Amino acid sequence: MQNRMMITGAGSGLGREIALRWAREGWRLALSDVSEPGLQETLRLVRDAGGDGFVQRCDVRDYSQLTAFAQACEEKLGGIDIIVNNAGVASGGFFSELSLEDWDWQIAINLMGVVKGCKAFLPLLEKSRGKIINIASMAALMQGPAMSNYNVAKAGVVALSESLLIELAQQEIGVHVVCPSFFQTNLLDSFRGPTPAMKAQVGKLLESSPISAAEIADYIYEQVAQGQFMILPHEQGRMAWAIKQKNPQLLYDEMTVMADKMRAKARQNPS
C-alpha cells in the first residue's frame, strides 16, 4: 500500500502544508526539520487532519543524519513511497557583496541537502518504486538579481531532478521538481545576506504573493497525481517561464532594469 511519505523541512511553511495535504488522504508521514518545536506542532496538525507518523530532527547537511532517518522510515513504516526534499534557506545580495561562506552555506543546504536526501533514500525508493519530489524555486529558472548563490543552488536542484528523471525511469521511480515563486512563508527566519535592505525587499515580495503555501501544496498534489515533472504553482511563474523559453533576452533586459532599481534603492537606504 503506497501511503508513506518523508518530508525534510517539515516544521513550518511549505513542508508542513505538504504534510497536511497528504495527511488528509490518510498517509503516514516521516517528518524531519532542524526545529524540534516546529516538528511537534506539524505532527499534531497531521494527526488532526487524519494522518499519522513520526518526527526525527535532521540537518540535511549531515548525510549520516539522513541515512539514520531513512533507517527509521524502514523500521517504523516498513519503507517509503514518496520523498520530499523541501528543507531550504533564503539568502540574497549582489555577487560582489556575497562572501564565499555565504556560497558554501547556501549550496550545502539548498543543493547538497537535496542530493544527500535522494542518495540516502534511493535504496528504499528502489524497493517501493516510489517518487522523488524536489522543491526548487522559480529562481532556478529566472535568475533574479541579487541572489546569485540562491539561484545557482536552486538551478542545481532542477538539473539534478532532470538527471534523475532520466536515470531512474528504468527503475520506475517517478521524479518531480517544484518551482514556486515567492509565497508567504517563514523563509526569512533563515535569511542570510549582506544588507538589511535586501532582507526587507525579499520580505515585501513574500508578503505580496497571491498564493499561500497551502494552495501550493494542493497544486503539487494534483500535478504529482497527473505525473507532471516540472511543477510551476504560480500562474505568473508559468507565464514568465513561457516568455523566457521564447525570448530569453526580454527576461534578461527586465532583470537588468530590476537590478538597477534595487541598487538605487540600496543607495537611498544604506543601513
Positions marked active-site? 150
Q: Which of 8, 26, 24 is nearest to 16 (CA)?
A: 8
Which grid coordinates are listed for 127? Answer: 524497493
CB–CB of 190/145 below 8 Å?
no
Decide if 98 contacts 148 (C-beta within 8 A): yes
C-alpha pair distances (Å), 258 with each of 104, 198, 236: 26, 13, 17
DSSP the chain: ---EEEESSTTSHHHHHHHHHHHTTT-EEEEEES-HHHHHHHHHHHHHTT-EEEEEE--TT-HHHHHHHHHHHHHHHSS-SEEEE-----B-B-TTT--HHHHHHHIIIIIHHHHHHHHHHHHHHHHHT-EEEEE--THHHH--TTBHHHHHHHHHHHHHHHHHHHHTTTTT-EEEEE---S-SSSGGGG-B-S-HHHHHHHHHHHHT-SS-HHHHHHHHHHHHHTT-SEE---HHHHHHHHHHHH-HHHHHHHHHHHHHHHHHHHHH---
